Amino acid sequence: MVVTVSSKAQQRKVVIACFGGFGRELAGWLRKYEPYTDFLGFIDDERPKECLGSIIDHRPIAGVSYLVANGLGSNRLKIAALLSGRGAKMGSLISPEAILGSDLNDDSQIILLGRASVSVNVSIGHQTLIQELAVIGHDVQLGNGCSVSSFSFIAGGCKLGREVIVNPHATLLPRLNIGDGATLGAGSVVIADVKSGVTVFGNPAKIL
């Protein structure tokens, strides 16, 4: 069953952590995907005066859904842990144009942009980012804090650990295991398991 998310279904209050380029981009997508949502502003440690304040001193606001817009999965996880440790409700941003065969909702704590496609029986860890036009096959597992770029294809049954970076146009063959913190270079064709912390690229992908 293909499930689409209605933008009208998501009327809420949102604060975005991180006021960098990605944070501002995310605010733009939020306005487009959820025109009825009340976007309160950003929190950021480097530019608190241009924002609602810093992350480090932020006291979470009740009833607000917090999104973390940092390009690095490890940073997203740290910021989410800090905010949720103070009682913040961490949320998701799920594009209404995404093609979803798996149940994802605000509690999933993911960011899924544009026409990304997620097949059936996929599990996605908290603070994972999936960019426009990425394709995730059936039975894939993505750990916490992964970053999956546009035009990448993760074939059925692959298991990615936490904080894995899948750069644009990377292709993963079926049922591969990719270790925590591995990086798959742009345009890679990954045909074998990748160990934790290793960077691979090329076709067939080899260790950098």
Ligand X SMILES: CC(C)(COP(=O)(O)OP(=O)(O)OC[C@H]1O[C@@H](n2cnc3c(N)ncnc32)[C@H](O)[C@@H]1OP(=O)(O)O)[C@@H](O)C(=O)NCCC(=O)NCCS
81 part of the interface to ligand X, by CB under 6 A: no
CA dist 82 and 97 (Å) reads 31
Q: How long, in residues, is the chain?
A: 208
Our CB check for ligand X shows the closer of 56 and 186 to be 186
Q: Is residue 202 a contact residue for ligand X (CB under 6 A)? A: yes
State how far the alpha carbon of 164 is from the alpha carbons of 5, 47, 161, 174, 184, in Å.
26, 28, 6, 17, 8
Interface pick for ligand X out of 10, 92, 167, 171 (rule CB under 6 A): 167
**Residue 25 or 103: which CB sits closer to ligand X?**
25
For residue 64, how far is the Cα from the chain centroid? 19
Q: Which residue is closest to ligand X by CB?
A: 185
- 149 binds ligand X per the rule CB under 6 A: yes
- Residue among 12, 20, 6 at smallest CA distance from 38: 12
Residue 144 lies near ligand X (rule: CB under 6 A): no
Query: Within 13 Å and on the Cβ side, how many CA atoms surround 142?
Result: 35
79: left (phi over 0), alpha (psi -120 to 50) or beta: alpha
Q: At closest approach, how far in Å is the CB of 22 from ligand X? A: 9
Q: Is 152 in the site for ligand X (CB under 6 A)?
A: no
Phi-psi region of 163 (alpha: psi -120 to 50; beta: other; left: phi over 0): left
Binding mask 95-134 for ligand X (x = CB under 6 A): ----------------------------------------
Q: Which residues pair with 67 in a beta bridge?
A: 16
What is the DSSP-derived secondary structure letter of residue 50?
G
Distance CA 99, CA 64 (A): 26
Could you say which of 186, 191, 192, 207 contacts ligand X (CB under 6 A)?
186
The correct pick among 53, 60, 114, 168 for binding ligand X (CB under 6 A) is 168
Q: Which stretch binds ligand X (CB under 6 A): 22-30, 33-41, 98-106, 199-207?
A: 199-207
Does residue 92 interact with ligand X by CB under 6 A?
no
Binding residues for ligand X restricted to 41-70, rule: CB under 6 A = none
Interface ranges with ligand X (CB under 6 A) = 149, 167-168, 183, 185-187, 199, 201-202, 208
